[in-house]
Amino acid sequence: MDDNRRNLDGYFYLAGFGACIPAANWLIQNVGTVCVPDGPCLIPVAPGIMAPSGVLMIGLALVLRDLVQRRLGVKWAVAAIVVGATLSAALAPPALVVASAVAFLLSELADLAVYTPLQKRRLVLAVFLSGVVGSFVDSIIFLQIAFGSLDFLAGQVLGKIWVTALAVPVIWRIRRLEDTSAARA
C-alpha cells in the first residue's frame, strides 16, 4: 500500500474518531429506549442489560484510534487522544464534563498501551484486546465520576465490546489487504 493511500485512510479514520465524540455526547442525551430524568438515555445491549447509548460511539472510537495509529503513527494517535479529550470536555453536558473528559483520556491511553506492542504481529488481537481494556477503563471511570455508581457497568462494557467485536472482521480484512499489497511490492 503506497504512502498516499495509507495517509488518506489515516485521515479518514481520524475524522471518524473525532466525530465519535460529539455523537456519543448527543446520543447519551437524546437517544434511547428509556431516558432517565437527570441521567442518561439507555439502550438494551443484551437481554435485561441496559447501557447509556453513547457506548456505541465510544466503542467505535476505541477501534478508530487504533486505526489512526496504524496509518498515521503514535504521535497522531496521541494528538487525537488529547484533542478528543478536549472535545469531549467541550461538548459534554455540564454535569458530565469531568467524567467524559477524564474517562475518554484515560481509556484511550490504556487502549494505546495495549494496542501498540501487539499491533505489528497480531493486529486483530491487538484491536480486540485494546478495545476490551479501553472499554473497562472508560466505563468504570465514567460511571463512577458521572453517577457515583457502577450500576450500568455491565451494559457499558458489553456495549463497547459489541462494537469492537463487530469491527474485528473489518480489521481482519484490512490486515489481509496490507499483506497482499506487501507481497506485490
Residue 185 lies in a domain: no
CA distance 129 to 72: 21
Which of 34-43, 45-54, 172-181 has the highest average model confidence (pLDDT)?
Answer: 45-54
**Grid cell for residue 26:** 448527543
Cβ burial, residue 38 (10 Å; 0-12/13-18/19+): exposed
Query: Tell me: the pLDDT tens digits for 167-183?
Result: 989 888 888 887 787 77
Domain count for the chain, please give it. Answer: 1
CA distance 145 to 139: 10
Query: Tell me: the pLDDT tens digits for 71-126?
Result: 999 999 889 888 888 887 787 777 778 888 888 889 989 999 999 999 988 989 99
Helix/strand/coil for 57: helix
Question: 48 — alpha (psi -120 to 50), left (phi > 0) or beta?
Answer: left
Segments forming the whole domain that contains residue 159: 3-180
